[in-house]
Amino acid sequence: MSDQPPLPLRIARALDALNQRFGQACAWLTLFLVLGTATVVILRYGFGIGATALQEAVLYAHALVFMGAAAWALQRNAHVRVDIFYQKFSGRRQALVELLGNLLFLLPLCLFLGWSSWDYVGNSWATLEASSESGGLAFVYLQKSIILVLVFSLALQGLSDLIKSIYLLAGHLPASEVKHG
């Protein structure tokens, strides 16, 4: 018998690693947010120079920080949880809540967001939409694509959490290996 975990758990761990690395990369953009915003303010109020492209780049990075790192935050249990009972639940009961939450809320929401934003993003790509501001960036279609990055990464993290919850409920995974609580 192999010491390797079953394929679904290996997939869940690979998805976790992917979302972790992507989330960490997005988190580093906060340094650019601070430096870019400071530069825009200094240029505008110190020298009377507008920096539209830099200001838009900061907005793009801001979107990527929050939407790109959302799955990593979910993985780390860093989202706000308004539940006074969950924290007192056993690992198995938390896994059941996670399983139901993923099946009833997270994955359907991802499907809805993906379905409802597909044309919005697709139309932007079809025209290679650019900024309407003079001196703005020519990559609005990339910014709008961040919506689909959010959908895809959250769906993958939901799938990973679903797999881990099923294995925990079946008694094949210790509660310590799951993010709950």
- Residue pair 41/12 in contact (Cβ under 8 Å)? The answer is no
Amino acid 179: pLDDT: 63
Going residue by residue through the chain, which has 181 residues, state the pLDDT in tens, using 9 for 90 and above.
568 889 999 999 999 999 999 999 999 999 999 999 999 999 999 999 989 999 999 999 999 999 999 999 999 988 877 778 888 888 899 899 999 999 999 999 999 999 999 999 999 999 999 999 988 999 999 999 999 999 999 999 999 999 999 999 998 877 666 664 4
43 CB-contact burial (10 Å; exposed 0-12 / middle 13-18 / buried 19+)? middle
Task: Indicate yes or no: pTM above 0.85.
Answer: yes
Its sign, for the CA torsion 149, 150, 151, 155, is positive
Contacts (Cβ under 8 Å, ≥6 apart) of 152: 114
Q: Calculate the alpha carbon distances from 96 to 46, 106, 153, 166 in Å.
A: 56, 14, 22, 8
What is the distance between the alpha carbons of residues 53 and 32, in angstroms, rounded to a whole number?
A: 14
Closest Cα to residue 144, out of 123, 163, 165? 123
